[in-house]
């Protein structure tokens, strides 16, 4: 049986309910960090959704940290759509967008090391930025940036997942 077509597009405000439905079980399992609805609306312009037969079955976001660095966030696929290439389609689009805006490195915080590894991501230790960039990033209030920097203040909140990076 042929795979269904996966369509990846920019997220729109009506998609937030579906995105929250996709991510809630993963947040309950502590695979993703739980977010309030307002956070999804605030980050909507960074997000894409994947549809199969007109239904939202996947999502992900690209958040730029610095001139050459961004993070893949909130990559999720519905249980019913796993194995259909939805996650790969979402990640491919996010990496395309990263290249389009000039990003050369993409970070993720994940339990899915095999998935991201298959797409070229490598686990990292420490913080792979120059000291002057580190100092600038310290000024960010974003927890994703703090996780990238491996700051002690986020350790109680992290889920125990791996830090990975891809050089584009």
Q: What is the pTM of this model?
A: 0.84
Reading the block at residue 43, the tokens are: 């980050």
Domain count, the chain: 1
Backbone angles phi, psi at 28, to 5 degrees: -60, -35
Residue 24 in domain: yes
Question: Considering the domain boundaries, does residue 150 fall inside one?
Answer: yes
The CATH number given to whatever domain includes residue 23 is 3.40.630.30
Tell me, letter by letter, the H, E, C secondary structure of the chain: CCCCCEEEEECCHHHHHHHHHHHHHHHHCCCCCCCCHHHHHHCHHHEEEEEECCEEEEEEEEEEEECCEEEEEEEEECHHHCCCCHHHHHHHHHHHHHHHHCCCEEEEEECCHHHHHHCCCEECCCCCCCHHHHHHHCCCCCHHHHHHCCCHHHCCCCCCCEEEEEEC
Q: Is residue 1 part of a domain?
A: no
The answer to whether residue 155 sits within a structural domain is: yes
In a domain, 102, yes or no: yes
Containing domain of residue 41, as a range?
6-167
In a domain, 149, yes or no: yes
Give residue 66's pLDDT: 81
**The pLDDT value given to residue 47:** 98
Task: Kindly state whether residue 140 falls inside one of the protein's structural domains.
Answer: yes
**At residue 153, what are phi and psi to the nearest 5 degrees?**
-65, -20
> Which pLDDT does position 146 carry in this prediction?
61
Instruction: Output the tens digit of pLDDT for each of the chain's 168 residues.
Output: 678 899 999 999 999 999 999 999 998 988 888 889 999 999 999 999 999 999 999 999 999 988 898 999 999 999 999 999 999 999 999 999 999 999 999 989 888 999 999 999 999 886 776 667 666 666 666 666 666 666 555 554 455 678 899 999
Q: What's residue 156's pLDDT?
A: 44
Q: In what order do the strands lie in the sheet with 162-167?
A: 6-10, 47-52, 55-66, 69-77, 105-110, 162-167, 122-123
pLDDT of residue 65: 83
């Amino acid at each position: 049986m042929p795979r269904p077509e996966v369509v990846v597009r920019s997220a729109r405000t009506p998609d937030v309910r579906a995105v929250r439905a996709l991510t809630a079980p993963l947040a309950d399992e502590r695979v993703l960090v739980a977010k309030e609805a307002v956070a999804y609306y605030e980050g909507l312009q960074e997000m894409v959704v994947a549809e199969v037969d007109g239904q939202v079955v996947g999502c992900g976001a690209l958040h730029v940290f610095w001139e050459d660095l961004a993070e893949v966030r909130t990559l999720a696929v519905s249980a019913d759509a796993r194995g259909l290439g939805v996650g790969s389609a979402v990640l491919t689009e996010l990496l395309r967008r990263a290249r389009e805006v000039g990003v050369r490195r993409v970070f993720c915080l994940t339990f899915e090391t095999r998935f991201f590894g298959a797409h070229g991501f490598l686990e990292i230790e420490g913080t792979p930025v120059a000291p002057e960039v580190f100092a600038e990033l310290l000024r960010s209030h974003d927890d994703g940036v703090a996780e990238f920097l491996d700051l002690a203040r986020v350790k109680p909140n992290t889920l125990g997942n791996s830090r990975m990076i891809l050089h584009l």
